[in-house]
Amino acid sequence: MKFQIQPRSIAFRLIVAVLAIELLSSVLVVVLSYGYERHIHFHAFDVMLHGRADSILGAVQDANDPGDNVMLDQADLHVPPEDIYQVWDENGRLLGRSGNWKDAPDWKTDGGAPPSHPWGDYSVVSTNGHHYRMLRIQGSRTIDPGEKGGGKVRKVTVVYGSQTGHVWHIIHSAVEFYAGGSLALLLITGPLIAWLLHRGLLPLRQLAALASQVSVDSWQFAPPASARTTPELAPLTHAIESVLQRLERSFIQQKTFVSDAAHELKTAVAVQKSSLQLLNMKRRTPQEYQAGLERCLADSLRLESLVADMLTLARAETASSHPEKPPTADLNDCIYHVITQLETIAALRNVNIAFSDPIPDKAILNLAMPADDCRLLVSNLLLNALQHSPPGSTVEIRVTREPGLNPPLADLAIQDHGDGIPAEALPHVFDRFYRGDPSRTRNTGGTGLGLAICKAIVQQAQGGIQIASQPDPAQPAQGTTVTVRLPLAP
């Protein structure tokens, strides 16, 4: 049985992350407060402990005996009754101890003294049912300092201990205060953070709600002002707008293409149908049947050409722009191949084709595109120029290279000297099925897809195409120039 992890919202993950950080911060605060409070209170405790041990050392006096020994005067000692202490001299003779010193070790020599603590001569022992912090200090007393030689020096060792229970109680109380405060702060800030994040993500939810309303019937998308002014959402808003605009243009283009294609196919079929109906209306002579069949064949050829152009356009628009093995095509070879194919048409129209290769090294003109696409591109452009050139004129083909760019580019320019294209028609020359002069185009057999196919091929090759034409009645032979810029293969 498999268990799937349920996806969590961004708000939930942010809330969990913030609360986890707060929880870790609270634990860190508690740990640091424990260390700080322990250091501060035990430092004060050690100072107090040292002061009381010094008071015990100060109570050591001359015993006034023949051996010049010392004694502990306990009459003037004022220490808490729960504290314990023990004093002995350098000979190991016990000078005195507290009355509650019962189960504590008898540290009379250096070897029996409390072990050294990392912070000093401190240690912790358990005796009398309590925990004591012990301090061991050494001092000296001078007997009869007025005698010759400055008197006799006697060394004294004092071990003093005090209960640590109240210190730990203070430390634990402080740590509990910090822990309780952190927990209360976490309980207060948790819902507040959840509310703030929920409110902060409101522009994102509004943006998603508006984007979900977009459909093929309604492309209206007006993002809220909060999404545009929020730095994190502004790029997403712009991206959604751009995508929807491109989708809308593509959808409208597809609808237009389907409508125009249906219209073109319907017209071609209707023409062919009318030719057959005309033949079938009455008995015809063999010559009339032959002429009718020739008209039907011509209509079928036009229909076949239209379907072929539609398939070519679809292939050019859907071809992968990043194939595993990018094909290459030599631009000069493609031009020479197309010129050879169209020589007959140029001769029938009495139009000359002028092409001089200005770049002797053909290897530098390898285009990053299939050879078939390159030939189709040049063929459509050159055929279009031949069809719109008056008899006796010349179609000029020029090729240049721009090596300073990355990647380097090749420019192909095809110029005719016809009547040119009206300014109002220039923005639409690359539209599918567009004809500036329908009657003239139908006479030349055009389908209105030639330039659309050229644009699709150039775009797939990551290039650019443009048409310049400024017809002038005073200069009727100015013509049209088509310029194609294509990247060269590495």
Same fold across 229-318 and 323-487: no
DSSP 488: B
Most confident of 15-19, 178-182, 368-372: 178-182
Residue 490 and residue 97: Cα distance in Å, rounded? 98
* Mean pLDDT calculated for residue range 319-339: 75
Q: Which contiguous run of DSSP H or E holds residue 179? A: helix 165-200
pLDDT band at 257 (very low <50, low <70, confident <90, very high): low
Task: Give this prediction's pTM.
Answer: 0.49
Residue 445 token pair: 């057999």
Domain spanning 229-318, CATH class: mainly alpha
| Rounded CA separation 224/241 (Å) | 12
Angle at 142 between CA 140 and CA 143, to 5 degrees: 135
Percent of the chain past pLDDT 90, that is, above it, reads 9
Q: How far is CA 242 from the centre of its chain?
A: 19
Confidence of residue 32 (pLDDT cuts 50, 70, 90): very high
Greater pLDDT, 27 or 69: 27
Q: How far apart are CA 139 and CA 91, in angstroms?
A: 14
End-to-end CA separation in angstroms for the chain: 53
Sort 448 into a burial class: Cβ within 10 Å, 0-12 / 13-18 / 19+. buried
Angle at 413 between CA 407 and CA 416, to 5 degrees: 170
pLDDT digits (tens, 9 = 90+) for 169-195: 999 999 999 999 988 988 888 888 888
Q: What pLDDT, on a 0 to 100 scale, did the predictor assign at position 437? A: 55
Instruction: Give yes or no for residue 24 having a pLDDT over 80.
Output: yes
Q: Which residue has the tokens 């993950």?
A: 13
Cα 399 from chain centroid? 42
| pLDDT per residue as tens digits for the range 422-449 | 877 777 787 766 666 554 444 455 567 7
Characterise 150 by phi-psi region: left (phi > 0), alpha (psi -120 to 50), beta (else).
Answer: left
Per domain, the residue ranges of the chain are 12-172, 229-318, 323-487
Q: With 0-12 CB in 10 A as exposed, 13-18 as middle and 19+ as buried, what is 271?
A: middle
At residue 149's C-alpha, the angle toward residues 145 and 154, to 5°, is: 55
| Coil, helix or strand at residue 17 | helix
**Distant-in-sequence, close-in-space partners of 409: CB < 8 Å, separation ≥ 6:** 401, 402, 463, 485, 486, 487, 488
E strand or H helix that includes residue 241: helix 234-280
pLDDT at 28 over 90: yes
- CA 338 – CA 165 distance, rounded (Å): 104
Mean pLDDT, the chain, integer:
78
Q: Which fold has domain 323-487?
A: Heat Shock Protein 90 (3.30.565)
Burial of 315 (0-12, 13-18, 19+ CB in 10 A): middle
Q: How does DSSP classify residue 114?
A: P
Answer whether residue 235 shows pLDDT above 70. Answer: yes
State the residue for tokens 């150039």: 458
pLDDT value at 411 more than 80:
yes
